[in-house]
């Protein structure tokens, strides 16, 4: 089978690595890919947010199955266009992907199916939004309704901060994504991620993870795309996961089907857990990054069978085969990230690291120049390891980090501290 993966990050490198372990994969193309992906698969230049271009490429290259990594191609209708062209695709339709692309839509669905989440309201008018905040007080959460590359959420500590966020969002800071603002009660507890596959009817859990969003150790400083992750997430015990499945995820999938918008793909539920009770923070219509790196390390080649069954509506016949293991990924980022950072510094030592089913360096923002790997983004490497315990996975991951010679790279030394 010829497979195309869309995307260029650590998530897509991890997906490619897992897919290649499955003998069903005869040929793997990743568009656009990165230096790490280029070492294991074909990379192709392609505008992955252009549905026509993706369909044209898939037809020309006799692609049998397309796996969509990031959210932007989903929102742009790439999955719909591939389905219309008769090409099997893993990734929801644009309408179903509104579970990520519209915060207000998700809240409506939660209300309709009774899924526990924070109390909320939506506004297009700044005056009305400000009055709501003044009446509710702080802390309070202010979100741009649409996709804002992870930057459209403000946890306001004061009413003034909330008012400023409302003015920013409705004032155009996020363009069309900020035409509407969603305001939610602040939730306390511990956050964790719950990943399921849905073929529109059947829901199959495929793992849990926790990531570290802040740049600084002790979970301090500005938010990032994620500085590390581990799986499983101890806070998401079997009991809590079952509650999340029965009270949040299954009702959501059923409500989507009832509305004639079947959800087909991975559904990533960001949960807040307090006193053993999960509530929904948000949905993503794609795999998490860097959570995918630890999930793929644990799932290996069966990930392709699961994604195929999901796309073909056969999830009811599938089950996940778990090793009783743990995985951790440590993100190495360019100094300065998530603020301004330089590109182009040389990363040495990667070719000395043994990579196998327990040790992998997944590339995010890298490029190859001759035989040299250079940093080419904010989050650059995902140093990932598996072990019988989380402590073993951690020791292996940090052991690999020590073997990487990149003076311009920074990383957190406390990934997994809550769980350990
Ligand atoms: N790690 C957070 C995300 O993928 O959205």
Do 63 and 156 share a structural domain?
no
Last residue of a domain, one of 294, 317, 340: 317
Do 331 and 298 share a structural domain?
no
Whether residue 418 lies inside any domain: the answer is no
Span 143-167, average pLDDT = 93
Using omega within 30 degrees of 0 as the cis cutoff, is the peptide bond preceding 22 cis? no
- Atom of ligand 1 at shortest range from CA of 290: 1
> Which pLDDT score, from 0 to 100, does residue 150 have?
79
Q: Residue 219 Cα, ligand 1 centroid: separation in angstroms?
A: 15
**Cβ 128 vs Cβ 166: under 8 Å:** no
Name the pLDDT band for 76 (thresholds 50, 70, 90).
very high
Whether residue 100 lies inside any domain: the answer is no
> Which pLDDT score, from 0 to 100, does residue 267 have?
98
Name the pLDDT band for 208 (thresholds 50, 70, 90).
very high
Using omega within 30 degrees of 0 as the cis cutoff, is the peptide bond preceding 312 cis? no
**Cβ 305 vs Cβ 22: under 8 Å:** yes
> Which pLDDT score, from 0 to 100, does residue 331 have?
98
Do 348 and 257 share a structural domain?
no
Last residue of a domain, one of 317, 351, 374: 317
Evaluate if residue 291 carries a pLDDT over 90.
yes
Name the pLDDT band for 37 (thresholds 50, 70, 90).
very high
Mutate-to-test residue for ligand 1 from 289, 292, 295, highest number of ligand atoms within 8 A of CB? 289
Span 290-307, average pLDDT = 98
Whether residue 104 lies inside any domain: the answer is no
> Which pLDDT score, from 0 to 100, does residue 184 have?
98
Evaluate if residue 146 carries a pLDDT over 90.
yes
> Which pLDDT score, from 0 to 100, does residue 266 have?
98
- Kindly state the helix (H) or strand (E) to which residue 43 belongs, with its residue range: strand 42-43
Name the pLDDT band for 151 (thresholds 50, 70, 90).
confident
Name the pLDDT band for 149 (thresholds 50, 70, 90).
confident
Span 147-170, average pLDDT = 93
Span 294-298, average pLDDT = 98
CA nearest ligand 1 atom 4, residue: 288
pLDDT tens-digit profile of 368-384? Answer: 999 899 999 999 999 99
CA nearest ligand 1 atom 3, residue: 288
Span 21-41, average pLDDT = 98
pLDDT tens-digit profile of 118-141? Answer: 999 999 999 999 999 999 999 999
Evaluate if residue 363 carries a pLDDT over 90.
yes
Do 200 and 313 share a structural domain?
yes
Containing domain of residue 128, as a range? 119-185
Do 86 and 7 share a structural domain?
yes
- Residue 281 belongs to domain with CATH number: 3.30.470.20
Whether residue 114 lies inside any domain: the answer is no
- Kindly state the helix (H) or strand (E) to which residue 153 belongs, with its residue range: strand 153-156
Q: Residue 16 Cα, ligand 1 centroid: separation in angstroms?
A: 18
Tell me the pTM. 0.96
Q: How far apart are CA 263 and CA 256, in angstroms?
A: 6
Q: Residue 288 Cα, ligand 1 centroid: separation in angstroms?
A: 4
Using omega within 30 degrees of 0 as the cis cutoff, is the peptide bond preceding 102 cis? no
Do 337 and 295 share a structural domain?
no
Percent with pLDDT over 90 in the chain: 97
Whether residue 108 lies inside any domain: the answer is no
Do 201 and 174 share a structural domain?
no
Q: Residue 42 Cα, ligand 1 centroid: separation in angstroms?
A: 26
Whether residue 144 lies inside any domain: the answer is yes
Q: Residue 74 Cα, ligand 1 centroid: separation in angstroms?
A: 16
Last residue of a domain, one of 94, 127, 154: 94
Handedness of CA 46, 50, 52, 58 (dihedral sign): positive
Whether residue 105 lies inside any domain: the answer is no
Tokens of residue 34, six digits: 């990165």
- Atom of ligand 1 at shortest range from CA of 288: 4
Q: How far apart are CA 406 and CA 210, in angstroms?
A: 26
SS3 324: coil
> Which pLDDT score, from 0 to 100, does residue 401 have?
98
Whether residue 12 lies inside any domain: the answer is yes
The pLDDT mean for the chain works out to 97
Nearest to 232 by CA among 269, 280, 193: 193
Do 222 and 125 share a structural domain?
no
Do 129 and 89 share a structural domain?
no
Do 345 and 311 share a structural domain?
no
List pocket residues of ligand 1, CB cut-off 6 Å: 211, 226, 284, 288-289, 291
- Residue 153 belongs to domain with CATH number: 3.30.1490.20
Number of structural domains the chain divides into: 4
Q: Residue 226 Cα, ligand 1 centroid: separation in angstroms?
A: 7
> Which pLDDT score, from 0 to 100, does residue 176 have?
94
- Atom of ligand 1 at shortest range from CA of 229: 1
């Amino acid at each position: 089978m010829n497979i195309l993966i869309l995307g260029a990050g650590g998530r897509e490198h991890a997906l490619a690595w897992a897919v290649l372990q499955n003998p069903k994969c005869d040929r793997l193309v990743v568009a656009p890919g990165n230096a790490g992906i280029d070492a294991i698969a074909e990379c192709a230049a392609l505008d992955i947010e252009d549905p026509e271009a993706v369909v044209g490429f898939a037809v020309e290259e006799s692609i049998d199955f397309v796996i969509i990594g990031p959210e932007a191609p989903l929102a742009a209708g790439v999955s719909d266009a591939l389905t219309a062209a008769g090409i099997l695709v893993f990734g929801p339709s644009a309408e179903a992907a509104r579970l990520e692309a519209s915060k207000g839509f998700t809240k409506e669905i939660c209300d309709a199916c009774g899924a526990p989440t924070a109390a909320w309201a939506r506004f297009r008018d700044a005056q009305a939004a400000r009055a709501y905040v003044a009446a509710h007080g702080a802390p309070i959460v202010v979100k741009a309704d649409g996709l804002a590359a992870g930057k459209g959420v403000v946890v306001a500590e004061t009413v003034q901060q909330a008012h400023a966020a409302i003015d920013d969002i409705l004032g155009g800071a996020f363009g069309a994504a900020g035409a509407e603002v969603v305001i939610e009660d602040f939730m306390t507890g511990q956050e964790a991620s719950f990943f399921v596959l849905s073929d529109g009817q059947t829901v199959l859990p495929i793992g849990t993870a926790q990531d570290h969003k802040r740049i600084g150790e002790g979970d301090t400083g500005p938010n990032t795309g994620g500085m590390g992750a581990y799986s499983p997430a101890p806070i998401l015990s079997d009991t809590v996961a079952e509650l999340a499945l029965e009270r949040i995820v299954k009702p959501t999938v059923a409500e989507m089907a009832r509305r004639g918008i079947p959800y087909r793909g991975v559904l990533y539920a960001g949960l807040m857990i307090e006193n053993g009770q999960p509530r929904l923070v948000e949905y993503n219509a794609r795999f998490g990054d860097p959570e995918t790196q630890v999930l793929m390390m644990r799932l290996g080649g069966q990930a392709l069978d699961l994604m195929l069954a999901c796309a073909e509506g056969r999830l009811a016949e599938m089950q996940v085969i778990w090793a009783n293991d743990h995985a951790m990924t440590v993100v190495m980022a360019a100094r300065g990230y998530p603020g301004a950072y330089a590109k182009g510094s040389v990363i040495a030592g990667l070719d000395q690291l043994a990579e196998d089913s327990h040790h992998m360096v997944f590339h995010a923002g890298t490029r190859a120049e001759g035989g040299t790997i250079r940093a080419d983004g904010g989050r650059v490497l995902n140093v990932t390891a598996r072990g019988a315990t989380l402590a073993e996975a951690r020791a292996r991951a940090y052991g690999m980090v020590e073997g990487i010679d990149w003076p311009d790279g920074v990383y957190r030394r406390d990934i997994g501290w809550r769980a350990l």
